[in-house]
Structure 1
Amino acid sequence: MKNSLQTHINQNFPFLIGKKLLLATSGGLDSMVMLDLFHKLSFEIAIAHCNFQLRGIESFEDQYFVENYAEINNIELFATQFDTEAFAEDYKLSTQVAARELRYSWFYELLESKNFDYILTAHHADDNLETFLINFVRGTGLAGLTGIPAQNDKIIRPLLIFSRQEIEYYAKKNSIKWREDSSNESDKYLRNKIRHNLVPILKELNPDFLSSFQKTQKYLQESKTMAEDASIMIYQQVAKENGEDIHFDLNQLKKLPNFRSYLYQWLSEFGFSAWDDIYDLVESQSGKQVFSNEFRLLKNRDFLILSPINFVDENEEYFINKNQKEVKVPLNLSFCKVNDITKESNTTIFVDEDKLWFPLVLRRWKEGDTFRPFGMEGKSKKVSKFFKDEKMSLMEKENVWLLCSDNQIVWILGIRQDENFKIRNTTKNILKIQLE
C-alpha cells in the first residue's frame, strides 16, 4: 500500500513533494493509516485534531490518543476543542454540517497562520461510494454523482484509490492502533444506514462492486467535464458580463432545446436551489426575482440579470455645504462656479446657484418623490413613473442617488436634471456639478 500511495502521489499529486502538509487526524482507522503512510514516506507533516465534544469522555480519549501518538513519533500537533452542539443551535445547522464548518474553517486558519501548503484528509473509496449514494437518494445533478473530489483547493484526499478493506488490512499487518468511534455503529445518520444496510447488499450482488463503481465514476467525471466545456461555449453566446452583473439573453437562451441544464450549470455555483422558480422566470413578467443567500436573478424584459444582493439603507444621507468643492462618498462629485455653460451631459449639469438652499443633500430615491424632468414643461412627475418610462431595471433603480435642495430634487444623478434649477437669461451665478 505504501508503494501504491507513492506511485499515486508521483502521478497525480507531484506538487505535494517537498511541501508542508497538515494531516487531519481523528484517531480513527483511516486517518491513523494515512498518518503512518506519510510518516514512513518521509513527508514534512503535522497533525490537526478536532475534539467536537459530541461523545462525552470518548471525545477526550480520542484527543489523548492522538496527542500521545504525536509525542511518541515527534510529530508537531495542533489540537482544538469545539462546542459543536451550541454552534449548531446558534446557526440552525445539523450537527454534522456544524462539525464540518468548524473543522474546515480551523484547518484553513492553520494553513495560513502556520504556513502549511496543503490539508490532507483520509477519505477513501468506500466514503466516495457512500457520498454518491447519499446524493443519489436525496436527488442531485451530475456534480453530486461524481463523488468526493481528490482535490478541492488546498484540500487533498490521497486515499480515495484505496478501499476500507485495504486500509484495515494494512493497519493490522503493520500493527497500527486506532480508536473506534461508537457513533459509527448507530443508524441515526443516513451515511451509517447506507454503510450498514445498503452497501453490503450491493457488494453481495457484485463482489467487485467497488471497482465497478470507480469505473462508473470515471465515466461520470468525463461526462461532467464534457458538459462543462459545452457550457462555457454556450455561455459566451448567451451571457454578457457587465461589472458585477451578468446578463443572460433570453432570446438566445430559449433557442436551446435544453436551456434548463445550462442555467443549472451556470447558476448552481451562486447558491441557488429553487430551480423550478428559476426555470419559470424565463417566461415570467418583468420584475420577477429569485434569490439565493448572496445573489438574485431578475427577469428584465428579454434578459435574466444575475447580480450580488446589495443591502441598501434607504435613510442614507450625505450633506454638502456651500463652497464645498468636491464629494468623495458615496459618489465622486465636483462643484465649481463658471461664467458660461459648456456642453451638458448625463454626468455634467449647470444650475442656478441662487436657487439652491444649502446644505444640499445626497440621498436614495423614495416612493412618492417627484420632480420636473429637464426639458419638459408642465407638471411634476413621479420619479417612479419616470423610471418606468425610461425602462430602467430594478437594479438600476436601486443604484440611483438624488441631489436635493430643501427637499426638492436638483438632479437624479447621471440621469436627468430638474427643470426648476436650470440656467435662464436672468441667472447670475452658474454652478457646474460634475459626476465622475
Structure 2
Amino acid sequence: MIKRFNQHIESQFNGLKQTSVLLAISGGLDSVVLAYLLKACDVDFEMAHCNFKLRGSESDADAIFVEKLAEALQVKLHLQNFNTEAYAKDQKVSIQMAARELRYHWFEELCQTFGLAYIATAHHAKDDLETFLINLSRGSGIDGLTGITAHNEQLIRPLLPFSREEILAYAEANEIKWREDSSNASDKYLRNHLRHHAIPAIEEAAPQFLNQFQKSQQHLKEVALLLEDYTAMLFSQIVNQSFKGYELSIQKLKQTPNTKAVLYQLLKDFEFTAWDDIYDLLDAEPGKYVSAKNHRLIRDREVLLLTEHKKKHEVVLWNEQDASLVLDNLKIKKEAVDQFSKTTATEAIFDKDQLDFPLKLRKWEEGDWFYPFGLKGKKKLSKFFKDLKYSTLDKESVWLLCNDQDIIWVVGARTDDRYKVTPNTSQFLKITAYYD
C-alpha cells in the first residue's frame, strides 16, 4: 500500500513533498494509518487533534493516545480543547456542525501561524460513497453526487482512492494500533446507518460495487465540468450586472431549453433551497421574491434581480451644524436661502422654524405614512410607492427625512404638506439630495 500511496500523492498532489502538511488526527483507524503512510513517504507534516469534550473520559483518552503517537512518529502535535456544546448553543447549530466549524477554523489558524501549506484529512472511498448516498437522499444536484473532492484549495484527502478494507488490512499487517470511537457504533446518524446496514447489503449483492461506483462518479465529475462550461456560456447571454446586482433576463431564460435546469445552475452557489418558488418567479407578479441566507431573487418587470440582503439601517441623525451628509447611496446637503423658489425632485424647501434638530434620516418601514404635498389627508407609504410603481429595490433604496417622528420628505419624491412654506415663513431651509 505504501507504494500505491506514494505514486498517488506524487501524481495527484504535485509538490506535496516540498511543503509542510497539517494532518487532522482523531486517533481513529483512518487518520492513524494516514500518519504512518505520510511518514513512510517522507512527507513533512505536523498533527492537530481536537478534543471536543463530547465523550467524557473517552475523549481525553483519545488525546493521550494521539500524544503518544506523535512521540513515536517524532512529529509535532497541536492539541486543542473545545466546549462544543456551548458553541453549538450559542451559534444555534447542530453539534456536528459546531465541531466542523471549530476544527476547520482552528486548522486554518495553525496553517497561517506555522506556515503549513495543506490540511490533510483521512477521508477514504467508503466515506465518498456514504456522502454520495446522503446527498442522493436529499435530492442533491449533480455537484452533490460528484462526492468528496481529493483537493479543494488548502484541503487535501490523500486516502480517497483507498477502501476502508485496504486501510484496515494495512494496519493489521503492520500491527498499527488505533482508537475506536464508540459513537461510530450508533445508528443515530444517517451516515452510520448507511455504513452499518445499507452499504454492506449492496456490496453483498454486488461485490464490485465500490469499484464501479468510483468509475460512475468519475463520469459524473466529467459531466459536471462540461455543465460548468455550458453555464459559463449561458451566463454571458442571460445575465447582466448592474448597480442593483445581477439581472437575469426572463425572456432569454424562457427561450433557453431546460429553463429550470439552467436557472438552477446559474443560482446554485447562492444557497437557495426553495427551488420550486424560484421557478415560479418566472411567471409571478413584480415584487415577489425568494430569500436565501445572504441573497434574494426578486421578480422585477423584465428580469429576475439577484441581490444581497440589505443590512438593517440605523437612524442617522443630522445635526444643525452639519451642512451635508454622505450615506450609502445618498448625498444630502442643506443651506439657508432668502426666499422660496421653484424646486426640482432633488430639492426641497422647508420653513426652518418648524424643524427641531437634529433631523433624522432612515429607511421606510411597514405602517409608515405622511401627508403628500398637494394632496388632502395622509397616505401610507406603501400605497404611495405603489402609485409610483416603485420596485422592491426602489423602496429599499429611498431615504426618509424626518422631523422627530414626522416624515417631512420622501427624498427625491415628495415633501410633506404639513411642512410647506407659507406666506408667514421667515426662514427658508433648502435641502438638496442626490442618489448614486
* Alignment counterpart, residue 323 of structure 2, candidates 316, 322, 325: 325
Q: Secondary structure at the match of 1:30?
A: helix
Instruction: Give the match for residue 399 of structure 2.
Output: 401
After superposition, the Cα gap between the structure-2 partners of 1:342 and 1:31, relative to the gap in structure 1 and judged at 3 Å, is: farther
Q: Secondary structure at the match of 1:201?
A: helix
Query: Could you tell me how far apart the structure 2 residues matched to 1:181 and 1:152 are?
Result: 27
Instruction: Give the match for residue 389 of structure 1.
Output: 387
8 Å CA contact 1:353–1:431 kept in 2: the answer is no
After superposition, the Cα gap between the structure-2 partners of 1:213 and 1:412, relative to the gap in structure 1 and judged at 3 Å, is: same
8 Å CA contact 1:286–1:300 kept in 2: the answer is yes
After superposition, the Cα gap between the structure-2 partners of 1:117 and 1:422, relative to the gap in structure 1 and judged at 3 Å, is: farther
Shift of 1:154: 1.8
Q: Secondary structure at the match of 2:283?
A: coil
8 Å CA contact 2:25–2:32 kept in 1: the answer is yes
Shift of 1:399: 2.4
- Residue 363 of structure 2 aligns to which amino acid in structure 1? R
Query: Could you tell me how far apart the structure 1 residues matched to 2:88 and 2:334 are?
Result: 53
After superposition, the Cα gap between the structure-2 partners of 1:240 and 1:38, relative to the gap in structure 1 and judged at 3 Å, is: same
- Residue 231 of structure 1 aligns to which amino acid in structure 2? T
Q: Secondary structure at the match of 2:103?
A: helix
Instruction: Give the match for residue 25 of structure 1.
Output: 25
After superposition, the Cα gap between the structure-2 partners of 1:223 and 1:180, relative to the gap in structure 1 and judged at 3 Å, is: same
8 Å CA contact 1:46–1:75 kept in 2: the answer is yes
Judge which range, 193-202 or 58-67, deviates more: 193-202
- Residue 160 of structure 1 aligns to which amino acid in structure 2? L
Instruction: Give the match for residue 129 of structure 1.
Output: 129
Shift of 1:434: 4.1
**1:330-369 mapped onto 2 (5 Å cutoff):** 331-336=330-335, 348-349=346-347, 351=349, 357-359=355-357, 360-366=359-365, 367-369=367-369
8 Å CA contact 1:70–1:77 kept in 2: the answer is yes
Instruction: Give the match for residue 431 of structure 1.
Output: 430
Shift of 1:164: 1.4
After superposition, the Cα gap between the structure-2 partners of 1:429 and 1:180, relative to the gap in structure 1 and judged at 3 Å, is: closer
8 Å CA contact 1:341–1:350 kept in 2: the answer is no
Identity %: 43
**1:15-414 mapped onto 2 (5 Å cutoff):** 15-243=15-243, 245-313=245-313, 316-329=314-327, 331-336=330-335, 348-349=346-347, 351=349, 357-359=355-357, 360-366=359-365, 367-372=367-372, 377-379=374-376, 382=379, 383-405=381-403, 409-414=407-412
Shift of 1:232: 2.0
After superposition, the Cα gap between the structure-2 partners of 1:333 and 1:20, relative to the gap in structure 1 and judged at 3 Å, is: farther
After superposition, the Cα gap between the structure-2 partners of 1:8 and 1:368, relative to the gap in structure 1 and judged at 3 Å, is: same
Query: Could you tell me how far apart the structure 1 residues matched to 2:406 and 2:61 are?
Result: 71
Q: Secondary structure at the match of 2:362?
A: strand
Query: Could you tell me how far apart the structure 1 residues matched to 2:251 and 2:9 are?
Result: 48
Shift of 1:252: 1.8
Shift of 1:357: 2.4
Aligned residues: 429
Query: Could you tell me how far apart the structure 2 residues matched to 1:433 and 1:210 are?
Result: 70
After superposition, the Cα gap between the structure-2 partners of 1:274 and 1:365, relative to the gap in structure 1 and judged at 3 Å, is: closer
Shift of 1:22: 0.9
After superposition, the Cα gap between the structure-2 partners of 1:184 and 1:362, relative to the gap in structure 1 and judged at 3 Å, is: closer
8 Å CA contact 1:350–1:422 kept in 2: the answer is no
Deviations 1:280-310, CA, capped at 9 Å, x for gaps:
2322223323222222222233332222222
After superposition, the Cα gap between the structure-2 partners of 1:17 and 1:326, relative to the gap in structure 1 and judged at 3 Å, is: farther
8 Å CA contact 1:281–1:289 kept in 2: the answer is yes
Query: Could you tell me how far apart the structure 2 residues matched to 1:304 and 1:417 are?
Result: 32
Q: Secondary structure at the match of 1:386?
A: helix
Judge which range, 199-208 or 46-55, deviates more: 199-208
Shift of 1:121: 0.3
Query: Could you tell me how far apart the structure 1 residues matched to 2:27 and 2:396 are?
Result: 53
Shift of 1:21: 1.4
After superposition, the Cα gap between the structure-2 partners of 1:85 and 1:427, relative to the gap in structure 1 and judged at 3 Å, is: closer
Q: Secondary structure at the match of 1:254?
A: helix
8 Å CA contact 1:338–1:432 kept in 2: the answer is no
Query: Could you tell me how far apart the structure 2 residues matched to 1:278 and 1:114 are?
Result: 45
Shift of 1:3: 3.1
8 Å CA contact 2:142–2:224 kept in 1: the answer is yes
Shift of 1:119: 0.9
8 Å CA contact 2:412–2:433 kept in 1: the answer is no
Gaps of 5+ in 1: none
- Residue 33 of structure 1 aligns to which amino acid in structure 2? V
After superposition, the Cα gap between the structure-2 partners of 1:280 and 1:65, relative to the gap in structure 1 and judged at 3 Å, is: same
Query: Could you tell me how far apart the structure 2 residues matched to 1:363 and 1:95 are?
Result: 40
Query: Could you tell me how far apart the structure 2 residues matched to 1:189 and 1:350 are?
Result: 64
Q: Secondary structure at the match of 1:14?
A: coil
- Residue 394 of structure 1 aligns to which amino acid in structure 2? T
Query: Could you tell me how far apart the structure 2 residues matched to 1:406 and 1:163 are?
Result: 70
- Residue 347 of structure 2 aligns to which amino acid in structure 1? I
Deviations 1:170-209, CA, capped at 9 Å, x for gaps:
2233332212223323333322222222222332333332
Q: Secondary structure at the match of 1:192?
A: helix
After superposition, the Cα gap between the structure-2 partners of 1:357 and 1:191, relative to the gap in structure 1 and judged at 3 Å, is: closer
Query: Could you tell me how far apart the structure 2 residues matched to 1:226 and 1:275 are?
Result: 23
Shift of 1:212: 1.2
8 Å CA contact 1:322–1:358 kept in 2: the answer is no
Deviations 1:7-59, CA, capped at 9 Å, x for gaps:
32333221534223110001111111111122233333111111223333222
8 Å CA contact 2:347–2:412 kept in 1: the answer is no
- Residue 124 of structure 2 aligns to which amino acid in structure 1? H
After superposition, the Cα gap between the structure-2 partners of 1:418 and 1:233, relative to the gap in structure 1 and judged at 3 Å, is: farther
User: TM-score, with normalisation over the residues of structure 1?
Assistant: 0.86
Query: Could you tell me how far apart the structure 1 residues matched to 2:248 and 2:327 are?
Result: 32
